[in-house]
Amino acid sequence: MVARFDMPFLGVLIGLVFVLTAAGGPEPSPQSAVPIRVIATSSSVDFPDEVVLTLEAESDARISEVRLYYRLGSRNVRVYGYPDFTPSTRVKADFRIKTGGSNYLPSGVDITYSYTIRDENGNAFETDSFTLEYKDPTFEWERIVRDELVVLYHDRPFDRVDEVAGDVAERTAEVKSLLGLETSKPQKAVIFNGTREASRSFPVISDRASQDGLYAGFAYGDYDLFVLVGLSRSGMVHEMTHLLIDEAIDSTFAVLPSWLNEGLAMYFEPGSGRRDSTVLRAAQRDELLSLRSMGSVPGQPSDVRLFYAQAQSIVHYMMETYGRERMGTMLRAINEGNRVDQAIQVAYGISIDDIELEWQGQLGGTVSATPAGDPGTLGTTAIIAGSAAIAVVAVIIRWLRRIMAGPVAEVDDP
């Protein structure tokens, strides 16, 4: 088809061409306005060992430096490193982020990164930010969003996952109420379909714990996510509770003992009474753990199940006997920097030993063991009694403790 123009339209067109020519044509893009140009960026995941980030760039002068900045999850800390490349006017730079072993990174973490490129003429170019969601590329992952809960899953019926996610969102509303959280940050759940898949995705634990299938999930407050074997309502509520507690108890000086953290997570689980028989057997044999010794989870797998069962039983007793309002008061007192024994005194008007004796009395068992000191609370004592200089040290200690303590785990029942 031949296009035809009438004279008035042709005049307007010629005028428009003249204006554009006089103005020097359209503005150049930011990429073409600088001598450094990004050709391509890419990423690959060698799960579970490392992530490889690749940049290709060119410049009119020899590129002398490529610096990568990256952030893991919602952490406030931005890390930088120098990718491997050979200086030239056109370069390909690779940077490896180790994700296995001592550098373990849980599935589902978002890696946000960008590059700064410099050449020998002193030119610099900063790229846009890119985001990679770290997960096993073997599977085709899907996601469901329910309120603040994001569920990553694969090879499961959508309707079933959506139903469970809805139930979990409703259940955790009670947790938010207790903690005084009107809203919360988005939290991510990564669901594995079996122990074999989980073995590639879980952190390194002891051979005995792995053989016994001791742990079914891990929560990571620093990343706002948890990983879990199976689509379990109880497991998801348990790990979500840990994440919400981590969000609510955010003071640098707060030390939450493991018995309280785990006990609350199990209290809100649907059908959470299944561990009662473990506690009753231990009471009958005079083998109960002392509450003051339960500041952290035991290292021996043989003690772990009793620890979890006892933590659940104690917290259940406190909640059902004294109500949720006092528990909320105690948690706020801990967040203000009080030791757990001080917080119990504030909220309940009795000592931690009195609480323990009351709980033992309703079990019908006795304990002959002398309560041992809680190492977690000893550090807080020094903080409260110290000067402003010691408080600064405490901030550093708290930061290191959160990194090195690792995730909060859920025990899988036999």
Which residue from 330, 326, 356 is spatially nearest to 343, judged by alpha carbons?
A: 330
What is the pLDDT at residue 365? Answer: 45
Minimum mean pLDDT among 5-19, 30-44, 169-183, 344-358: which range? 5-19
For residue 111, what are the CA distances in angstroms to 48, 55, 129, 332, 360? 15, 16, 10, 33, 48
- The percentage of the chain sitting over the pLDDT mark of 70, rounded to a whole number, equals 77
The pTM (predicted TM-score) of the whole model is 0.77
Local confidence band at 7 (pLDDT 50, 70, 90 cut-offs): very low
Which CA distances in Å does 373 have to 211, 286, 405? 32, 20, 19
pLDDT at residue 176, rounded to an integer: 96
Please state which of the ranges 177-191, 202-216, 250-264, 282-296 shows the lowest mean pLDDT.
Answer: 202-216
Phi, psi angle pair for 89, to nearest 5°: -75, -15
* Confidence class for position 275, pLDDT limits 50, 70, 90: confident
The structure tokens listed for 139 are: 């599977």
The answer to which of 64-68, 251-255, 321-325, 382-386 has the lowest mean pLDDT is: 382-386
> What is the model's pLDDT at position 168?
96
pLDDT band with cut points at 50, 70 and 90 for residue 132: very high
Residue 140 has pLDDT above 70, yes or no: yes
Instruction: Fill in the DSSP letter of residue 84.
Output: B
pLDDT at 126 over 60: yes
**DSSP string for 167-210:** HHHHHHHHHHHHHT-SS---EEEEEESSHHHHHHHSPP--HHHH
Strand (E) or helix (H) holding 384: helix 375-385
The residue to which tokens 């063991």 are assigned: 369
Note the pLDDT of residue 205.
Answer: 67
Nearest to 413 by CA among 216, 237, 128: 216
User: Comparing C-alpha atoms, which of 111, 131, 176, 128 is closest to residue 149?
Assistant: 176
Determine which of 9-13, 142-146, 374-378 has the lowest per-residue pLDDT on average: 374-378
Task: State which amino acid sits at residue 99.
Answer: T
Read off the pLDDT of residues 196-226 as tens digits, 9 standing for 90 and up.
999 999 997 655 545 445 679 999 999 999 9
Q: How confident is the model at residue 98 (pLDDT cuts 50, 70, 90)?
A: very high
Where does the pLDDT of residue 413 fall: very low under 50, low under 70, confident under 90, or very high at 90 and above? very low
Can you say whether the dihedral through the CA atoms of 130, 135, 404, 336 is positive or negative?
positive
The percentage of the chain sitting over the pLDDT mark of 90, rounded to a whole number, equals 71
**Confidence class of residue 66 from pLDDT cuts 50, 70 and 90?**
very high
- Pairing relation of β-strands 187-192 and 142-146? unpaired
Q: How confident is the model at residue 4 (pLDDT cuts 50, 70, 90)?
A: very low
pLDDT tens across 146-188, in order?
A: 999 999 999 999 999 999 999 999 999 999 999 999 988 999 9
- Compute the C-alpha angle 378/243/394, nearest 5°: 30
Whether residue 400 has pLDDT greater than 70? no
Give pLDDT, residue 409.
57
Q: Greater confidence, 269 or 364?
A: 269
Highest-confidence segment of 301-315, 321-335, 385-399: 321-335
Q: Which residue has the higher pLDDT, 2 or 113?
A: 113
pLDDT of 391 over the 50 cut: no
Query: Average pLDDT over the chain, rounded to whole?
Result: 83
What are the structural domains, with CATH classification, of the chain? 31-133 (2.60.40.640), 139-248 (3.40.30.160), 251-414 (no CATH)
